[in-house]
A and B are shown apart, each in its own frame.
Chain A
């Protein structure tokens, strides 16, 4: 299981292919990719801050929980920080399991927890000022379904 917290862009196709190719017992691979969304065409950039040290620990702890709950063969989390522009990939999650139900559920679980429990903070730099993205109540509420 790999966690990468990085400023560099990642190649979604290459990462997905390498992840799938490394599997020896899985019958299902699920991937999710988050892109920088431009609400209304006013986004100049998105700056993502994180807490070096805690970020990796928190993501590992979330992965460990996923492994404890589903029958997973492997998992991957890549999350970028620094300055990104609209439509750039921010992060990706991949899960591998013998059957798809485990891979889908674990990927959703990882996404829900990464949103609210991994120490990243997004700031939208707009054409008319900058603003920190506020956490959504629905993102916090999403954790209760697990």
Chain B
């Protein structure tokens, strides 16, 4: 099981802030493919990966990063702090 978190407009498009998933995905990209296949709202949120960022266990990562041992995946738009 893996915790998947969504922030900002990703959260709004998907309609929930977090969920617990059973996945066999080996990489972030494979997990994204699984999510996109689920429902239209996921397809809408993940349509353009260049406008998304991902963190694995609260560290920024790439979409080709492996998911082995990861407990928490977060998807969000580019950050706008400061």
Could you tell me if A54 and B58 are in contact, using CB atoms closer than 8 angstroms? yes
**Residue-by-residue, is A16-56 near B (CB-CB < 8 Å gives 1, otherwise 0)?**
00000000000000000010000000000000010101100
Number of chain A residues close to chain B: CB under 8 A: 26
Complex partner residue of B81 from A53, A119, A123, A134, CB under 8 angstroms: A119
User: Taking chain A's interface residues, is the majority helix, strand, or loop, or is none over half, making it mixed?
Assistant: mixed
Give the docked Cα–Cα distance between A91 and B60 (Å): 22
Could you tell me if A51 and B81 are in contact, using CB atoms closer than 8 angstroms? no
The answer to whether A114 and B82 touch (CB under 8 A), given A51-B5, A54-B55, A123-B8, is yes
Contacts of B63 in A (CB 8 A): none
Of the listed stretches B19-27, B29-37, B41-49, B70-78, name the one at the interface; the rest are far from the partner chain.
B70-78
B7, B77, B78 pick with most chain A CB within 10 angstroms:
B78
The answer to whether A140 and B78 touch (CB under 8 A), given A51-B58, A123-B8, is yes
Could you tell me if B74 and A121 are in contact, using CB atoms closer than 8 angstroms? no
Could you tell me if B80 and A133 are in contact, using CB atoms closer than 8 angstroms? yes
Could you tell me if B81 and A120 are in contact, using CB atoms closer than 8 angstroms? yes
Could you tell me if B8 and A111 are in contact, using CB atoms closer than 8 angstroms? no
Contacts of B60 in A (CB 8 A): 117
Contacts of B7 in A (CB 8 A): 49, 51, 119, 121
A-B pairs with lowest CB-CB distance, top 5: A135-B78, A120-B81, A121-B8, A54-B58, A115-B82
Cross-chain pairs A/B with CB under 8 angstroms, 9 sampled: A51-B7, A51-B58, A116-B79, A117-B60, A117-B79, A119-B76, A132-B77, A133-B80, A135-B77
